Chains A and B, each alone.
Chain A
């Protein structure tokens, strides 16, 4: 009997682990009794790592050494706009790594987001091991559907560092649909609306005789519950500055307390009309300690978050359009992610899809359950079900004039393959270098650079005479592999890939043995 594969929903704010028991996907309680674990990693003064709820508890007193929302950093360039906007709002410091990625600095040590994530994954692994009473070595980890190639690769690497063989990188909305569809088996068309702590995804699926086929996927990797929290924090800081002439932005401890309070208030406002925010001794002024006491009403929250709520419609419409469907074609709308509990979000969903979303699934746990269900497909326990997912971004290469030549279009079912033939442009050229980009824009400068690869060992010939056929294969996890053959001889050309960022295999090995 092989050991079990666990399903991990590695979230921005909370993570969840589930395992298959019989035919049921069971969510496992953590050591503190919670069904989800905060995705937080902190280091105490002695350099010891604390993960999950204990980390969250000490966050207020140890803000510089507590990393939360690391999922927003993973696989990102330090120079990217998203990181530039995010950086000032974080109490811990984000630095540029040697290869230009965004890393974090704790206690003077620079650390990759992969390594930070690996601590969370290791914790999830331990939770599962304690519950199952056996060694766990394999996992399925979920990522937002709109995660790109680099972010997927980085997540997989995080798993490897944590000592897990990541058997699949599964898209969160797809996982949710799988968990839902396993119990509501009839053929139907499903829209999954996934608004989590840091990311927003929408996927359109069709379930047909056991095959879950994703037709389209769209989203925003920079939109989530954190942004709603930040709106509340901004409001409170502004008011505080006006009333007390004190800038809370300079006080990491106060900011951390505000964040905690903002999150709690936001969650409470999903079930009540108004809530009290009470933060005694928030700051000190020459006149003595200053407290924050304020009532926050639901309509206040909704009006200040209106721009965020407005941003929800466009990805949904785009996904519907890509699936060649209208809202009326959808049989069921599935809400996933904690933020989908917010009444204003739900009413937006009703506006967009013209129907009440499905109740009766737990938006915090369904993704992990889906991942565990996927393990049943791999293990052979579930024979009549399979997932067909798509690649969310277009992949192409740079051609003359900085233009993008697209090889693989977005929303192509994976695995998939595309071929393209390249010719040498100079006499006796023995290698060709190609730059791979991702995105839909016709100018590569507006797309995301993934890396470049060099085709070597070409026979020296006059220009244009050597032709190389390049294969781009995207596997089930959405990861790209490149191979090349010389057209005339059929001889394989060597392919050297230089990724734009990420960790090398050696770095991963070193980190995993630490």
Chain B
């Protein structure tokens, strides 16, 4: 059933799939297969393809040299024309990659053709090399897919954990007077501890102490959750709400650059949407000052009319007058 390949010319609707045939195919020291000489391009359509892997019968292995040669050549073409490595191996799921490769190996391994003439041996070598390349690629793709799945899983778990913690952290309200008292006590404690330190040292120590306190109470994660929430608001397009949400997070934890970055960005978008372009630009510039590789700010900057243009318009106004 896997007869010689036939080609029909001049069909512009040939699927993209087989267009890779136009890449030159040269097998070891064999003469070039005419299809691929570089003159024939694009519009050629493979009419009869070799049967897919699972229905391949292996009897041809015992056949005459001509049949074997043809069969191997067809397989080589099929492997090289396949759009994806999964297709080359004839499998539909990543779990089949290994079995498909092993099954194909049993048929196409060069050892199977060791008693054949040199040309066939070389061709078999090429077929196996192509097969192995597809396998390695498919393996890589499968691994990347698995990694992606694990990542999503971890992210989901993290989200769940955060939500659980947020629910748990809604504590009973505290009397404002008590809170004030508590604050004073902490301040005096700090003062006692830092009494002898110099100015810069003191600032550093206070920062360290605050950071410790934040991480001790677990509020860092709380802020992270707030930040995520703000991001969601931002995505929904409500810039005003997002800006105030980001601001709240950024104020509660000024040491985190990321919070400030997004605060400025949200502010900028808010200003831009209300037509205050210069102020918006200033906000974006602040973003870039914090992180020069922040793509969103770059994009938004680009969407603003050029600064020079405004000057021009002023000039034209002047001249107009």
Contact = CB atoms under 8 A, between A and B. Distances in A.
Given A380-B62, A385-B106, A415-B129, A209 B111 contact: no
Nearest to A385: B106
Contacts of B109: 386-388, 476
Given A167-B115, A209-B99, A475-B125, A415 B110 contact: yes
B112 A386 contact: yes
Interface string B90-132: 0000000011001101100111101100000000010011001
A374 B98 CA distance: 23
Nearest to B98: A208
Contact of B129 (A2, A386, A417): A417
Interface residues of B, number: 22
Interface size class, chain A? 20 to 34
Given A211-B102, A380-B62, A416 B112 contact: no
B61 interface: yes
Given A380-B61, A386-B106, A415 B128 contact: yes
A464 B106 CA distance: 44
B161 interface: no
Nearest to B116: A378
A384 interface: yes
Contacts of A108: none
A25 B241 CA distance: 81
A114 interface: no
Contacts of A211: 102, 105-106
A325 B16 CA distance: 43
B115 A168 contact: no
**Interface SS of B by simple majority:** helix
Given A415-B125, A475-B125, A490 B58 contact: no
Contact of B115 (A210, A378, A383): A378
A384 B103 CA distance: 9
A383 B62 CA distance: 11
A241 interface: no
Contacts of A138: 115
A343 interface: no
B24 interface: yes
Contacts of B114: 167-168, 378, 476
Contacts of B105: 211, 386, 388
A387 B114 CA distance: 13
A292 interface: no
A384 B132 CA distance: 18
A416 B126 CA distance: 9
Contacts of A417: 129
A119 B191 CA distance: 96
A490 B111 contact: no
A142 to B, nearest CB: 14
B106 A384 contact: yes
B58 A383 contact: yes
Interface in A373-405: 374, 377-380, 383-388
Given A379-B115, A386-B109, A386-B112, A209 B61 contact: no
B129 A416 contact: yes
Interface centre among A210, A385, A476 (most CB of B within 10 A): A476
A377 B113 CA distance: 9
A168 B102 contact: no
A387 B28 CA distance: 23
A473 interface: yes
Contact of A377 (B98, B111, B129): B111
A413 interface: yes
Contacts of A5: 115
Contacts of B110: 415, 475-476
Contacts of A383: 58, 61, 106
Nearest to A377: B111
B61 A168 contact: no
A388 B24 CA distance: 29
A378 B61 CA distance: 10
Interface in A355-384: 374, 377-380, 383-384
Nearest to A165: B115
Nearest to B103: A209
Contacts of B29: 483
Contacts of B24: 490
B65 to A, nearest CB: 13
Interface in B57-93: 58, 61-62
A475 B115 CA distance: 15
Contacts of A490: 24
B102 A413 contact: no
Contacts of B129: 415-417, 473
A202 B28 CA distance: 33
A473 B133 CA distance: 14
Interface string B44-66: 00000000000000100110000
B128 A377 contact: no
A415 B106 CA distance: 14
Contacts of A168: 111, 114
A465 B62 CA distance: 49
18 contacts: A5-B115, A168-B111, A168-B114, A209-B99, A211-B102, A377-B112, A378-B115, A386-B105, A386-B106, A386-B109, A388-B105, A388-B109, A473-B129, A475-B125, A476-B114, A476-B125, A483-B28, A490-B24
The 5 closest A-B pairs by CB, nearest first: A378-B114, A386-B109, A167-B114, A211-B102, A476-B110
